[in-house]
Structure 1
């Protein structure tokens, strides 16, 4: 399964989001030290969920990282917009 699909599935299961956008930005980083050649190394995530609303910014990031599990170790960069 593509990493983008895994991210979407895990975040949907964990947070039942009102808004979820996962953008693979790996092509923008071709040749960068974090580019592993898979085309799945850099992602931007925009997520809005009532489950995250009462949390602080740091708690939101921690909750998303927990939900993503091992994905955070398999990709080089995750840009999180958890508004």
Structure 2
């Protein structure tokens, strides 16, 4: 399973989102630090879920990182998050 698919699967299971887009931005970072040539090093996540209601930006980010798990988070060089309700 690709990292994009794994990210999407874990976030859907954890948050039942109303909107979820996982974009692989790795090719945009070719030649930069952290680009390991795998094509799966840089990602952007757009996620909307009722589970984030009343939570701070930091709490939302922590929840996403917890849902992804330490092994997946450590395998990704860059993860930008656009999180909301």
Question: Which of the two has greater helix per residue?
Answer: 2
TM range (shorter): over 0.9
CA displacement at 1:37 relative to structure 2? 0.6
SS at match of 1:27: helix
Which string of whole-angstrom CA distances, capped at 9 and with x for unpartnered residues, describes residues 16-54 of structure 1? 000000000000001111101100000000000001122
Alignment match, 2:73: 72
Aligned residues: 83
Give RMSD over aligned pairs. 0.6
Q: How does 1:53-68 map to 2 (within 5 A)?
A: 53-68=53-68
TM-score (norm 2): 0.95
Question: 5+ residue gaps in structure 1?
Answer: none
TM-score (norm 1): 0.97
